[in-house]
Structure formats: structure tokens, C-alpha cells
Chains A and B, each alone.
Chain A
């Protein structure tokens, strides 16, 4: 099965479970969790079910397109369901069957893995899902987001698409994976992988990056003061990505590192509270809508 068909299959499956199909968010980010469709929307009481593919940038993992397993940018298929359905494990296992993975022919396990992202003040409990010893999915019940208690609890399912595909397509090297008939990952992503690695490790302008970090931080704060949640959040994401670029280049010492992470976290925390406050001002509209449907 090509990656493209995997995406179509997963979209269909989760759409059938009532998920809104979203597109990737247009700001650089390290993980699908950081999309506002997850990080902000999983806050507060409003129900929210969504699925989308997120290209995720991890500058430090860039390997000039030479490593068979590591990528500057990989793809996650992200599902969020709030509140978490009672049969979520079954729904997930069904999705594997849709991908042609017959549980009877394999060894599928839910192995404890508690997820924590200090930069986002987020923590959750759950598992990594093993398919014959390979971690293919991160499965998390959010307990805290942006320093706020998650109530109700969202469940987050993150499929590592390249990982899963390398199993399904039985390939040793991610660049040999086929995106669709006749098109490999190498065709599409080799050049960007190489160039981004060069940029990250050799050509980026460190002074500019440091300046950008501060500017983005300023802008995020300025916008938060005006209660403009979503624009402010875009600048938090930019801060985070800029920090990742600096970190990958090795120009941030360990002591400074804690400081930078603290700055991003403090932005994430403020914005989490601000989001909930602003939604409350609007009367949690998606909650109301659900109530009306119940009445009808």
C-alpha cells in the first residue's frame, strides 16, 4: 500500500468515526500535537473530533538524506477525539485492519509510554503501540495541556506514517517508500532533506535566528495582550521552530537551553488560558451546538 493510499484509508476510517478532516497547518512545527487543531482545541469543555496529516519538522534529526531511518521532516497522521470514546482502542485496531494489518497474523501490543512535552506544559498517559516489536503509533490520553487540566480528556493517536509504511511496504530505507505508483519518497523529499540539513547545520544565520526568536516572542506577547489568540499562537510556533533550529546547530548551551524552553513554555501556558477565556466569552459555541442537537 502506497503512503498516499494509507492516508486515504485512515482519513476515510476516522471520517466514519465522526472526525472532521483537516489539512496540515501552515506554520512550521515539530509535531502534529502543536497544530492549533490539537493543542488549542483539546482545551476547554467543547467536544472536538479531528484527523489530519501533519508534516513535522525536527531539524536535529536532519541527516542530509543519508540515514535510512531519520528525517528532517516526517509525516504524522494525527487523530484527536474529545471526549475520548469508550471504544477508542477498538477503533484504532480497526484502522490497522483497514491498512491490511491482520492482528491475528502479528503481535500487537499496547506498551506503557507516558508522554510529556515540557515546552507545551503538556502531559498525558498512554502507550506506544508495537507491531511485531516496532513502535508504530503513540496513543495518549491528555491529562494536562498548557498547564491546564484536560477536562474532558482528549485522546490523541499519532501514527508515524513512514514507520508504518516501511513495515507495510517491507522497505529497509525510508527513501525507497512509494508515495504513490511510481513515485518514491526519494523523488519528492531527498532534495529538501539534503538542503534543509545543510541549512540547519551549516548555512543558517545564527544571529538572525536569535533575533527572530526574540522578535517572535515579542510579537506573540503583544498579540496576547490584545487577546488575538490564533495569530499569537502562530508566533509561539515560530518561536518554537526557531529554537529547534538554534538547538540543532548546537549554539545554545545547556544552561541557556533551559531558559529558552522556559520562555516557550510560559508563552504556551499564557495562550492556553487565553484560549479558554476567549472561548468562554463566546459561550463555548461548539458545546451549545451539541446541546441543541440533543434537544432536537
Chain B
């Protein structure tokens, strides 16, 4: 016979953001525990609402299976005395195992007989085991715990009730003064206390008490209600998944309703309205078929449809008051100038050792100018880029951004336009924050890209300069994310500026800063930091680590070229046709490391193969140099391929490490010349070639 079992923990309202993880944790720990207890079951189902989490176990076995266990005792020579009677040791052992001496048998282990008995362990009854389920509840961990009253337990929220039922029997245990029972509680206001006579009634009975215990069902219900509102009003309600999840976990019984706000508020940038609705009030904004924001909102109430008008009216009042604030901020902000705001930035600390935001803006501005000039932008673009940098942070001290911090950049763009800045500058201000996260879009304009790189590099190099290197999960200035952003932009933009040159420019701006070490050490630390991010990105693009190492063996250079080279070599690594060339070149590079001169003296040649190779080198030198200039690495490889036969002939007939030191260094010099043609591409000796398997 099997049993159905239900455990429900009732609590004061849990934080919505922890519900999902708590539910899956409870489910997994229940299953693991049942397995450890050697109890079998058909299924375990979990439920969660803000006020409860529960598991329903179906067809749980009545008891553990019995166990037969062989236990080893003392050696035979100790177990039997001279006359063949059981010794005290043997009797004691048998007794200890709950067996009679008659049950003893011998078994040989490594040439010696030992006493054994077969121990029978009767499977424990589920009844008794289930009383320990308390351990599972207490083993739960939460991101934030609290204590309450004079209790010592730390838990997600105070425990209000415990329901523990095996079929129609209560499973007795107690946690922090709360005793298990067969009672549960419905919706706080609409429901009542009720008694369960069977675990399988749980979900259904709760529903009649205005609680939808299954959170997926709640979510589905909300979606249906939203769809219904869309169709009946001809609206579009874009559903933000995070918001939907949060709203689902804030209620036990969802009922969507709509409200309206004054059309006057639509003059405020819609990002501010949307933030106010979503972040502050957890409402869904409403749009028309042309994606225009409408003066409606959707809320989800914890309850049924009774008095829904009162609820909607109350919510309207709150939102109107909030939006009135937003309008007020929006109008007030326009009464000052960008200069006023920029002045105030000198009162905002960026980082203790890196000065104020104003200091940072000054550095970004200089850096932007240098980058823009080195990219040979035209006069207008340079001026726009510099202007963008100068005012890229002014919105941080506006009332609007002070109230809605996630609107930084967005308000900057809007206000810049209102204050008469050029379109390029306005856009650049918003774009300089991009990419805001791993999958975010990159800046659209070159100006946005330049200021974004300048801002991020200032933060990265600045922080590393003053010893703020991220470790483990500690990365308060989000240096990893910003580094990734810089790499992605550099990769996309294909600027001729090398990584090393960029870092030098950034360090020049940081001369006022009290650095922890010399510039050369900082550069190295920054390079290491970038390398780890580059190798992370390479992995995502299916470039292996040895290839990345081979193309960055001297420096990171121009980041976009680094990736172009890596992709090419990743293909060549398995290209059968390239194998002879690769082998010849690797041999050259290995030997070339033994010498350092590139001065070739033709009079020292002793055979025609040296001559041939030399002529071939002379012939490909210029084309290879041109190919590098054109960033055509395939062509570099094509030209290098032309050397293959002559290299092989050379090695077949020439002893490079000749006794005569002049001859030897002359031959090494020739190999060095070849190596120098390959080095700007990669160090081939660092690659694990895989043309054959």
C-alpha cells in the first residue's frame, strides 16, 4: 500500500524575487531526502505563493525495504577456545549484532577464517521517517534570512503554520513553536481556515479558498487576462518577462485591471512614464497598434473582481501623483543649463582616489579628442565627439535622473536636444553608456563608440591603477562588463589604434592620480585583464586558446585584427593543404629563435639552396608587406606558401647549425627574416596543429 503525503509551510509574505528559487530548492531537497531515506514514490509536485510553499508526494512507499547485511567479526582462532567452544569475544560480537551464536558462520579472508553473521535490518516505516521531514524544511537556505520575536531560527520570513499530512493522518513535528496540523489557510482576506482530509485535495481546495497554488497557473491566468484586455480595447500590452514573474509572485489570486492617467503626462519622455509604471508600481504600460504609448496602465490585484473599480481608482490616484512628480522634475530640469549641471559634477565623487565625476569628464574629453584625431575624423566629427564627451554626464545631477537612475543617458539625450545641442551629440550622450550589459547593442555612431571607449577605459585603467582589481565575485565597478564592452566595440569598429597605444593615452590622462605602481606594471595588469576577457569572447566564437595566444604573442594590437587573424588560423589549423607550409614554417620559427640577426651576407652562401631561398625571400618580402598593410592575412599565407619548397630544399641540403660561426649566424639570419614575416600574424610554434588525426 502506498500513501499520499503533503507538507505545507505557511509564512508571512515572502519576497517575490526569492519564490522561484525557493520552490525548486524545496522540491529538489525533498526528492533527495526521500532517496536518502530509501523511500520510493511516484511523483513529487511543488507549489508556491507569497504565503506558502509546499510539496505533494504521490504514492510513497509504506516502509523502507528490509536490508540483509553481512557483518565481519573476530578471527576464528579468537572466536573459539582450545576445546572448540565460543569465546567471550564471539558471544559478545553476536550479541552486539542482535544475533545468536548459532547464526555464526566462517568466511575466509586473506587466508584466515573470520566469524560472520548475517544481520537483518528491518525497513523503517514511512510514518516514523516522515516525522523527520522537519530536517528538510530547516535545511532550506535563502539569499536573505531573518530572525523574529525571541526565536533563534534564521529563515526567509516568520513561520505561521505547518501542514503535514499522510493520507488523513497528521505527521507530528514542530518548528519554532509551530505544531503541524491538517489545517491550512486560504487567501488572507477572501479565504478562510480549512481542514484537509486528503493531500490530493490540496490544490483544488485552495482554489475554492481563492489561492492558486501553482505559480505557472497564476502566470498563465495573468497572461489570459492581459490578452483579454488587449482584444477588448484594441490595445497592445508588451509583456516584460521579469515584471510578469514578479507580479505572479506578488499575489495568491491574480485579477488584472486597468486604469487611466491624465493625457497631459504624455509630454514627459515615455521612458520616465514607463519606469514609473513598471519599477515603482509594477504596472504594465499600454500601447496602441502603432506602438504609441497610451494613457492607460494594467495592474494585477491580489484578489477577485469584487470592488475592482475602487482598487483601480486608488491605483490611478497613486500613479497620477507619481507622474505629477515626473512632470515637475521634467519642467524644473529645463530651467537650468548644461553648464549649471556640469558645474555640479565637481561635487559628485567618482571614486575616492580618482576624483570627482567632473575630473572624470575632463579626462574622457581629452581622451576622446586624441582618439578622434588619431582616427583622422573630419573637423565637425571631432568637435561633436569632444562636445559629447564634455557633457556626457550632465544629466546625472538632473532631478529626473536623480529620481529614475536607469534613465541616465536617455534623459541626457532628450535634454541635450532641448538645450539645442546637435543631433550627433544628443545621440552620442545616450550611446556612450552602451553596451549596458552583455547582450546589449553597441553604439550606433562612431562618436558614441569613441566616448563609450574613453569612458570605460578611464574607469578600467583608473580602477586598476589605484589597486581596485576585481577578484572572484567582487567587481563593484563592473570592470569585467566594461572591458567586454570595450573589446566588442573595438572589434566592431576596426580602428587603426592598437590596444597598447590606447592604454598609453589613458595613462597620460591619469597623471594626477596617485597610482599604486608604475605605468608599465599597470599596462601589464590591464593587458592581463583584457586577455582574460578576450579569451572568454574567443571561446564563444569557437576560437581555441592556443590560437589566441599565438596571435597575441607580442601584443594585443588592433583588437579587430586580432580576431580576424585568429579566425583565419582556426580554419588553417585543420586544413590538410596547408600542412606542408605549416610544417616548414614551424621548423623555421623554432630554429630562428636561436639567432637574432636579420643581416644576410650572400657571400657566405655555400650552396644553391641557400641562394634559392634567399631569392624567394626577396621576392615575397614586398607582397607580404603589402598584404599586411591591406590587412589581407589570407594573402600573407598565400605568399608564405610560396616559400615552402625552397625552405624544405634548404633544410634537406644545408646544415644550419654549422661549426663556422659566421656561416651559422648567416643561415639563422635568413630564417629570422622569414620568421619576421610570420610574426606579425602569429607565433606558429604556439599552435597545436591538427590537420591529421
- List residues of chain A with CB under 8 Å of any chain B CB: 67-69, 83-86, 89, 93, 103-112, 114, 125, 127, 131-134, 141, 143, 150-153, 155, 167, 172, 250, 253-255
* B441 lies within 8 A of chain A by Cβ: no
Evaluate contact between B189 and A108: CB separation under 8 angstroms: yes
Evaluate contact between B317 and A134: CB separation under 8 angstroms: yes
Evaluate contact between A107 and B148: CB separation under 8 angstroms: no
* B302 lies within 8 A of chain A by Cβ: yes
Evaluate contact between B189 and A125: CB separation under 8 angstroms: no
Q: Mark B1-27, 1 if CB is under 8 A from A, else 0.
A: 000000000001111110000000000
Evaluate contact between B315 and A112: CB separation under 8 angstroms: no
Evaluate contact between B147 and A153: CB separation under 8 angstroms: yes
Q: 5 closest pairs, A vs B, by CB?
A: A132-B314, A112-B15, A110-B13, A152-B150, A133-B315
* Contact residues in B for A112 (Cβ distance below 8 Å): 13-17
Q: Which residue of A lies closest to B156 (CB)?
A: A125
* B:304-333 near A, CB below 8 Å: 306-307, 310-311, 313-315, 317-319, 321, 324-325, 328
A-B contact pairs, 19 of them (CB 8 A): A68-B324, A84-B158, A86-B177, A89-B12, A93-B188, A103-B188, A104-B307, A105-B306, A106-B307, A107-B311, A109-B13, A111-B250, A132-B313, A134-B317, A141-B146, A141-B158, A143-B146, A254-B348, A255-B349
* Contact residues in B for A150 (Cβ distance below 8 Å): 147
Evaluate contact between B302 and A107: CB separation under 8 angstroms: yes
Per the bound structure, the CA–CA distance linking A253 and B352 in Å amounts to: 12
Evaluate contact between B190 and A151: CB separation under 8 angstroms: no
Per the bound structure, the CA–CA distance linking A133 and B190 in Å amounts to: 19
Evaluate contact between A84 and B149: CB separation under 8 angstroms: yes
* B299 lies within 8 A of chain A by Cβ: yes
Cβ contact of A86, chosen from B158, B190, B317, cutoff 8 A:
B158
Min Cβ gap B358→A in Å is 11
Min Cβ gap B347→A in Å is 5
* Contact residues in A for B110 (Cβ distance below 8 Å): none
Per the bound structure, the CA–CA distance linking A250 and B311 in Å amounts to: 40
Q: Which residue of A lies closest to B297 (CB)?
A: A133
Evaluate contact between A85 and B149: CB separation under 8 angstroms: yes
* Contact residues in A for B150 (Cβ distance below 8 Å): 83, 151-153
Per the bound structure, the CA–CA distance linking A124 and B149 in Å amounts to: 13
Per the bound structure, the CA–CA distance linking A152 and B302 in Å amounts to: 32
* Contact residues in B for A106 (Cβ distance below 8 Å): 307, 310-311, 314
Cβ contact of A83, chosen from B149, B314, B315, B317, cutoff 8 A:
B149
Per the bound structure, the CA–CA distance linking A141 and B11 in Å amounts to: 14
Evaluate contact between A110 and B12: CB separation under 8 angstroms: yes
Given A85-B149, A141-B147, 17 more pairs with CB closer than 8 A: A84-B158, A89-B12, A103-B188, A104-B307, A107-B311, A110-B13, A111-B13, A112-B16, A125-B144, A132-B313, A133-B281, A141-B148, A153-B149, A250-B347, A253-B349, A254-B347, A254-B348
* B412 lies within 8 A of chain A by Cβ: no
Q: Which residue of B lies closest to A103 (CB)?
A: B189
Cβ contact of A104, chosen from B13, B146, B149, B189, cutoff 8 A:
B189
Cβ contact of A153, chosen from B148, B317, B324, cutoff 8 A:
B148
Tell whether A109 pairs with B147 under 8 Å between CB atoms, given A132-B314, A167-B314. no
Per the bound structure, the CA–CA distance linking A67 and B327 in Å amounts to: 13
Per the bound structure, the CA–CA distance linking A93 and B328 in Å amounts to: 34
Q: Which residue of A lies closest to B150 (CB)?
A: A152
* B549 lies within 8 A of chain A by Cβ: no
Q: Which of A67, A93, A110, A153 lies at the interface centre, i.e. has the most chain B CB atoms within 10 A of its CB?
A: A110
Tell whether A109 pairs with B325 under 8 Å between CB atoms, given A125-B146, A132-B315, A134-B314. no
Per the bound structure, the CA–CA distance linking A197 and B19 in Å amounts to: 44
Tell whether A151 pairs with B347 under 8 Å between CB atoms, given A86-B158, A106-B314, A131-B314. no
Q: Which residue of B lies closest to A134 (CB)?
A: B318
Q: How many residues of B sit at the interface, in one of the four size bands?
A: 35 or more
Min Cβ gap B93→A in Å is 51
Q: Mark B272-286, 1 if CB is under 8 A from A, else 0.
A: 000000000100000
- List residues of chain B with CB under 8 Å of any chain A CB: 12-17, 50, 144, 146-151, 158, 160, 177, 188-190, 250-251, 281, 299, 301-303, 306-307, 310-311, 313-315, 317-319, 321, 324-325, 328, 347-349, 352, 356
Q: Which residue of B lies closest to A89 (CB)?
A: B12
* Contact residues in A for B151 (Cβ distance below 8 Å): 153
* Contact residues in A for B303 (Cβ distance below 8 Å): 104, 107
* Contact residues in B for A110 (Cβ distance below 8 Å): 12-13, 50
* Contact residues in A for B328 (Cβ distance below 8 Å): 67
Tell whether A114 pairs with B144 under 8 Å between CB atoms, given A109-B302, A132-B310, A133-B299. yes
* Contact residues in A for B17 (Cβ distance below 8 Å): 112
Per the bound structure, the CA–CA distance linking A107 and B299 in Å amounts to: 11
Per the bound structure, the CA–CA distance linking A152 and B12 in Å amounts to: 18
Per the bound structure, the CA–CA distance linking A259 and B310 in Å amounts to: 48
Q: Which residue of A lies closest to B14 (CB)?
A: A112
Per the bound structure, the CA–CA distance linking A2 and B307 in Å amounts to: 24
Per the bound structure, the CA–CA distance linking A86 and B175 in Å amounts to: 14
* Contact residues in B for A153 (Cβ distance below 8 Å): 146-151
* Contact residues in A for B50 (Cβ distance below 8 Å): 110
Tell whether A105 pairs with B146 under 8 Å between CB atoms, given A110-B13, A112-B17, A253-B347. no
* Contact residues in B for A103 (Cβ distance below 8 Å): 188-189
Q: Which residue of A lies closest to B299 (CB)?
A: A133
Tell whether A84 pairs with B318 under 8 Å between CB atoms, given A105-B307, A107-B301, A132-B310. no
Per the bound structure, the CA–CA distance linking A112 and B147 in Å amounts to: 15
Min Cβ gap B617→A in Å is 63
Cβ contact of A69, chosen from B16, B325, B349, cutoff 8 A:
B325
* Contact residues in A for B317 (Cβ distance below 8 Å): 132, 134, 167, 172
Per the bound structure, the CA–CA distance linking A168 and B340 in Å amounts to: 42
Q: Which residue of B lies closest to A155 (CB)?
A: B148
Per the bound structure, the CA–CA distance linking A108 and B307 in Å amounts to: 13
Per the bound structure, the CA–CA distance linking A85 and B150 in Å amounts to: 9
* Contact residues in B for A131 (Cβ distance below 8 Å): 314
* Contact residues in B for A133 (Cβ distance below 8 Å): 281, 299, 314-315, 318-319
* Contact residues in B for A109 (Cβ distance below 8 Å): 13, 250-251, 302
* Contact residues in A for B321 (Cβ distance below 8 Å): 68-69, 172
Min Cβ gap B84→A in Å is 68
Q: Which of A108, A109, A127, A152 lies at the interface centre, i.e. has the most chain B CB atoms within 10 A of its CB?
A: A109
Min Cβ gap A121→B in Å is 17
Q: Which residue of B lies closest to A152 (CB)?
A: B150
Q: Which of B160, B189, B281 lies at the interface centre, i.e. has the most chain A CB atoms within 10 A of its CB?
A: B189
Per the bound structure, the CA–CA distance linking A132 and B299 in Å amounts to: 10
Evaluate contact between B302 and A132: CB separation under 8 angstroms: no
Q: Which residue of A lies closest to B16 (CB)?
A: A112
Q: Which of A83, A114, A125, A150 lies at the interface centre, i.e. has the most chain B CB atoms within 10 A of its CB?
A: A125
Per the bound structure, the CA–CA distance linking A160 and B243 in Å amounts to: 27
Per the bound structure, the CA–CA distance linking A69 and B349 in Å amounts to: 30
Min Cβ gap A214→B in Å is 22
Per the bound structure, the CA–CA distance linking A93 and B13 in Å amounts to: 14
* Contact residues in A for B313 (Cβ distance below 8 Å): 132
Q: Which residue of A lies closest to B145 (CB)?
A: A125
Q: Which residue of A lies closest to B50 (CB)?
A: A110
Per the bound structure, the CA–CA distance linking A254 and B281 in Å amounts to: 30
Evaluate contact between B147 and A143: CB separation under 8 angstroms: yes
Evaluate contact between A104 and B12: CB separation under 8 angstroms: no
Min Cβ gap B225→A in Å is 15
Min Cβ gap A61→B in Å is 12
Per the bound structure, the CA–CA distance linking A93 and B318 in Å amounts to: 21
Min Cβ gap A160→B in Å is 13
Evaluate contact between A254 and B318: CB separation under 8 angstroms: no
Q: Which residue of B lies closest to A47 (CB)?
A: B150
Per the bound structure, the CA–CA distance linking A84 and B160 in Å amounts to: 13
Evaluate contact between B307 and A84: CB separation under 8 angstroms: no
Min Cβ gap B402→A in Å is 12
Q: Which residue of A lies closest to B312 (CB)?
A: A132
Per the bound structure, the CA–CA distance linking A83 and B149 in Å amounts to: 4
Min Cβ gap A139→B in Å is 10
Min Cβ gap A223→B in Å is 32
Min Cβ gap B249→A in Å is 10
